[in-house]
Structure 1
Amino acid sequence: MSDLELQAELGLGARRQGATRRPRRIAVAEGLAGAVALFLVLSAVMPQLVAPGDPLAIDPLQAFQPPSLPHWFGTDESGRDLYTRVVHGTGNSLLIGVLATTIGLGLGVLLGTLAGMLGGFVDFTVNRVLEVLFAFPGLLLALLVILIYGPGVATATIAVGLSTAPGYARIIRAQLVQVRSSAFVEAATVQGLTPRRILARHILPNTLAPLLVLATLGVGQAIVWATALSYLGLGAQPPAAEWGAMLSAGRTYITSAWWMSFFPGLFIVLTAVTATTLGRAIERRMRHA
């Protein structure tokens, strides 16, 4: 075998080895994300099973205890167990993220469908409205809504949902326009199917299929934005067991009690990374299906 053939064979073997390693790494990442997601869902649905105790129970004699066997995540300034509070705060944070994503997706589907299906003046008007909304950063738009209607969990949820709607609407519209010009829709039109039947059987199912991926990715983003608003004092208020509120309470003691901010922040990051990983996994499955 010549040197060139040997190098080519080695290069092909390296590419094959890299190709096999990459799916293994992806599978490991997806497995870890699935385990974290299972823990988060269990914490949200049955928090007493994961962390028995009252997240609001105070014990001043145990204030500012570092992480230890009795208190895995330490305690806060009132002696409350941080592990219990973080676990019980999972339900609040996930609920806010899911509701905000539902609001954003619902409004995005409505605007995107109107623009993509009706076209003409409606498409022009919706696109101009979306461009105006895109001129504001998402978090700034949420702050504007809270400024008008006041702070609170419900207002923060609606604000995050409204701020994510323009991005969803643009994606839905682009997907709808692409599906409308596809070959199978043209074939259905040639066969004499009514526009309503084409919309129901061909356009909408193929347009709304990516919504599962968008929803999974959007939950992580919504949780990050909602916790940011709570951190600023515009969402959940202390002593509520909510990750953003716990972050806000812990910033005062960041130099002396680092665990008060570290563990809520860790759960926020884990939730966002898990949602992104699962969303990408679903996207790959749908692409290869």
Structure 2
Amino acid sequence: MSELELRQTTVEASAEHRPPRRRDRLPRVGTLLAIAFVLFLVAATCFPGLVATQDPNQIAAAEAFRSPSLAHWFGTDESGRDVYSRVIAGTGTSLLIGVTATAIGLALGLALGVLASFGGRALDFGVSRVVEVLFAFPGLLLALLVIVIYGPGPVTATIAVGLSTAPGYARIIRGQLVSIRSAQFVESARVLGHSPARILARHIVPNALVPIFVLATLGIGQAIVWASALSYLGLGAQPPAAEWGAMLAAGRTYLAGAWWMTVFPGLMIVGTTIATTVLGRALARRGRGPS
């Protein structure tokens, strides 16, 4: 072995045994923190009585506007209700709205994406043009239009958010399906004489499920933000409902003297959005494999 080859081998061996850099470990730490936060949200949704410290609807006028303390971790609101317990009680409602709206948007997006991908050129052109027209409008504006037509409320807000996210999902899913349809393994299955139904069931759908699942994980946080924005505007859940957006709307009047009424529900919205986004990106990296 020459001296140059020996040096190259030594460099490669040292690179293999070199400990991972700190910036390579940071995403793993972030992913663990995101998982821990999501598990906390699941526990608050499934067992709110165990996670909360007090009755979220118990009114105590003498305890109104108490700042955060050991007795009230997130302080109290204008009626003396414990803000922490109300945030925990609103976790299930906010997550249900986010998951349901994401499911509605994904279902419609998947249907439109499949039609555009496998319905022929004419249907692909028509669906793509409709999706582009809808995609040109801001998603929240579409949700507001739906609410104006059918009236405010948590159910209407959930459906409105789901409908407003459908064009974006349809565009992404259509591109994903077209990419998989033209892949080499699909062409090989066609050459082997497999039927279109078998190719769709055994090759295209399984390879499209993981990206769609990642897309759903990323979309839950966006749906929660939009639903909370609608509740903040008075078009979703109405006070005194324990929902994060409604709590933001109720606390804005007292923001100067009782900031905790708005800050802590807002932090829950931000934390949930960040956690679901981090998990979605981690799943996307895992699906791509090591680079």
Would you say same fold, with TM above 0.5?
yes
Deviation at 1:124, TM superposition (A): 1.0
Q: Which of structure 1's runs of 4+ aligned residues deviate more than 3 A?
A: none
Shift of 1:258: 0.5
Match of 1:103 in 2: 104
> Deviation at 1:246?
0.3
Q: Identify the residue that residue 88 of structure 1 maps to in structure 2.
A: 89
- The one-letter amino acid of 1:276's match is T
Work out the CA distance in 1 between the residues paired with 2:213 and 2:189.
26
- Per-residue CA deviations over 1:180-221 (Å, capped at 9, x if unaligned) read 111111111110111111111111211222111011100000
Once structures 1 and 2 are overlaid, which stretch shifts more, 118-127 or 42-51?
118-127
Q: Which residue of 1 aligns with 2:4?
A: none
CA separation in 1, counterparts of 2:186 and 2:64?
66
Match for 2:169: what amino acid? Y
Q: Hey, what's the Cα distance between the residues in 1 that align with 2:28 and 2:185?
A: 34
State the partner residue of 2:185: 184
The offset of 1:119, in angstroms, is 2.4
Structure-2 residue corresponding to 1:267: 268
The letter for the 1-side match of 2:232 is: Y
Pairing 1:228-247 to 2, within 5 Å after superposition: 228-247=229-248
Distance, in Å, in 1 between the alignment partners of 2:85 and 2:119 is: 51
Gap regions ≥5 residues in structure 1: none
Correspondence 1:31-180 to 2 at 5 A: 31-180=32-181
SS at match of 1:90: helix
TM-score under structure 2 length normalisation: 0.92
CA distance in 2, matches of 1:128, 1:284: 31
**Deviation of 1:53 (Å):** 2.9
Deviation at 1:52, TM superposition (A): 4.0
The separation in 1 between residues aligned to 2:56 and 2:216, in whole angstroms, is 30
Provide, for residues 223-244 of structure 1, a one-character-per-residue CA deviation record: whole Å limited to 9, x for no partner. 0000000000000000000000
Cα distance in 2 between the residues matched to 1:209 and 1:61: 53
Distance in 2 between residues matched to 1:32 and 1:203, nearest whole Å: 34
What do you get for the CA RMSD once the two structures are aligned? 1.5
Q: How many residues align?
A: 277
Q: 1:226 is matched with which residue?
A: 227
Q: CA deviation at 1:54?
A: 2.0
The answer for the alignment partner of 1:258 in structure 2 is 259
Q: TM-score under structure 1 normalisation? A: 0.93
Segments of structure 2 that go 5 or more residues without pairing to the other structure are: 1-6
